[in-house]
Structure formats: C-alpha cells, structure tokens
Amino acid sequence: MASLLRNTRRSFKIISLQQDSRKQLPKLNATGVLLAGGKSSRMKKNKAFLELEGRPLVERSLEVLHAVFAEVLISSNKPELYAHYEVPIIQDESLDRGPLEGLYQGLKEATYDVVFFVACDMPFLQGELIHFLAGWIPEYDVVVPRLHSGLHPLHAFYHRRCLPSIRTNLEAGRLKIIDFYPSCSVRYIEETELRDFPDLSNIFCNVNTPQEWTAILRR
C-alpha cells in the first residue's frame, strides 16, 4: 500500500482535468468517508441534499469517492436518510462532539489504515486532487491542504495512527480537529504545491448559508 500511494505522488501528472478521473487513475487501497452529520444550523436544511445540476450534493460526492477509493463510508447519525445509497453508515457513539467524533469513528470502522474525510457540503470535489494528496500517506499521519484562505481539515487524509491522539482530545473535551495535530506527524500541502489544479476556490468551497448557496448556483 505504501508503494502504491508513494508512486501516486512521484508519477502524478495532470493529464486532463476535463477527462473522467476513473479512466485515468486506479482506485486507492484506502477508505473515503463522507461526513454528513452536521446540524446545518445556518442553512436551515440538510446541506447533503441541496441540489446542483439536478443532483443532491451527497450523490455528487459519493460518485467521486467511489471512483477514487476501494471503500466508501458515510458518517451520519440519521442513517435512514442515506440507506438507499447502499453505502455502510457509521454513527457517533457520543453525540454533540462534532466532526472530531466522526473522524474517530471513521478511523475505527474503516477497513484500511488510510482514510480520507470530506464534508458533504463541498459541491466540486475533485478526484485528481484527492489522488495527489494521497501521495504523502502513510509517511505522515495527517495530510491536509493549507491554502491562503486557511486549513481544510475536512478535505484531508488521516492515518489510523491518529486514533490515540483523537481519543485523548475527545476525552478532554478538545473538539477542534486541528488541536490534535501537534501530537501527530502532519504534512501541510501548500497552495503553491497545488498550482496545477485550476479553480482551487471552487474545489475547496463549502456551503454554510443560503447566501453562499445562492452564489454557487449563480456560477
């Protein structure tokens, strides 16, 4: 597995971002987890089912994850909403601990040691970029993009080695994801390293409010 992921990094080239990534790159022996457990309090509706080009965001994201990963999971405390997608659903053991709990349960339940976590409210998920990020796992415990706009811990890879650190923070009530980073080996992927990918602002945008969603629909 290590050689496969390292080779992804060393030989990766952007051949054509318009072509279907499923025809270009092999599936990774890793797990992709779609985090769909947020309360969507600012949106006032479940963001996973917002429709773009006639398809809910959850379907758009699952299509990309299925193309990239050997295993795909959904993290949600409302499994009945996602049962028809025929994807295994994992639930939090303790509620109200946010996405950090989702990371913990996902790492525990995943078949593979390497797990990519992504929020369900990112409309323009791109398989080629995910493959690129995978090149630094499992040499590091965490591989996370760091753009000028900030970190993206919910579009990042985590190794199962993170579990003890995450558990310690959960037990201490430190629920911010990046708070456990200092106890792990982290590879920050800088924006300059992603310069071959156009429209990073689109790829990494997420939806939190009706106004943001309106802006996306107008693009």
Q: What is the pLDDT along the chain (219 residues), one digit of tens a residue?
A: 433 343 333 333 322 333 344 456 899 999 999 999 765 555 567 888 998 888 999 999 999 999 999 999 999 999 999 999 999 999 999 888 999 999 999 999 999 999 999 999 999 999 999 999 999 998 999 999 999 989 999 999 999 999 999 999 999 999 999 999 999 999 999 999 999 998 898 999 988 787 887 877 776
Please check if 78 is assigned to a binding site.
Answer: no
113 marked as part of a ligand binding site: no
Q: How many folded domains does the chain comprise? A: 1
- Residue ranges making up the domain that contains 188: 2-10+27-217
> Binding residue per annotation — 47?
yes
- Between CA 202 and CA 219 the distance in angstroms is 10
Q: Is residue 165 part of a domain?
A: yes
Distance CA 63, CA 57 (A): 10
In a domain, 16, yes or no: no
Task: Report pLDDT for 40.
Answer: 57
Does 161 fall in a domain?
Answer: yes
Q: Which residues contact 170 (CB under 8 A, 6 or more apart)?
A: 94, 97, 100, 101, 104
For the domain that residue 177 is a member of, what is the CATH number?
3.90.550.10
Residue 22 lies in a domain: no
Q: Is 36 annotated as a binding residue?
A: yes
Q: What is the pLDDT of residue 24?
A: 63
Find out whether 92 is annotated in a ligand binding site. Answer: yes
DSSP label at 81? G
The Cα–Cα gap between 129 and 172 comes to 34
Say if 49 falls within a structural domain.
Answer: yes
Write out the two tokens for 74: 């959904």
In a domain, 21, yes or no: no
pLDDT at residue 95, rounded to an integer: 86
What pLDDT does residue 76 have?
A: 95
* 65 annotated binding-site participant: no
Domain assignment present for residue 129? The answer is: yes
Does a structural domain hold residue 72? Answer: yes
